[in-house]
């Protein structure tokens, strides 16, 4: 028996929100973002976290001034080692 798409997407959103809450409780996100922005190549980058169950959480979207630039990295994927 398969679930309707609306239930699957709702479940995925809840998993993503739970992951974001766990990360916010574990990591000082403002400090993390400042450290990312201190690196020229990642300044303003979109930051995505992927957990061990492949739940994807966008922690920050790319800043608009860099989103259209092909000369800079706009996405940084962070995955904690198991």
Average pLDDT over residues 38-60: 88
pTM exceeds cut of 0.75: no
Q: Comparing C-alpha atoms, which of 15, 27, 25, 21 is closest to residue 56?
A: 15
Mapped to the 3 state alphabet, what secondary structure does 1-48 carry?
CCCCHHHHHHHHHHHHHHHHHHHHHHCCHHHHHHHHHCCHHHCCCEEE
48 pLDDT more than 60 = yes
Average pLDDT over residues 62-77: 60
Q: Comparing C-alpha atoms, which of 78, 73, 77, 76 is closest to residue 40?
A: 73
Could you identify the residue written with the tokens 């450290």? 35
Structure tokens at 53: 């169950």
29 pLDDT more than 90 = yes
45 pLDDT more than 70 = yes
């Amino acid at each position: 028996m398969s679930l309707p798409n609306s239930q699957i997407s709702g479940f995925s959103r809840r998993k993503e929100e739970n992951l974001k809450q766990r990360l916010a409780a574990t990591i000082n996100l403002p400090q993390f973002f400042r450290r990312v922005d201190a690196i020229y190549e990642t300044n303003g980058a979109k930051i995505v976290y992927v957990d061990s169950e492949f739940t994807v959480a966008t922690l920050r979207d790319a800043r608009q001034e860099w989103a259209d630039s092909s000369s800079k990295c706009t996405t940084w994927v962070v995955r904690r080692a198991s």
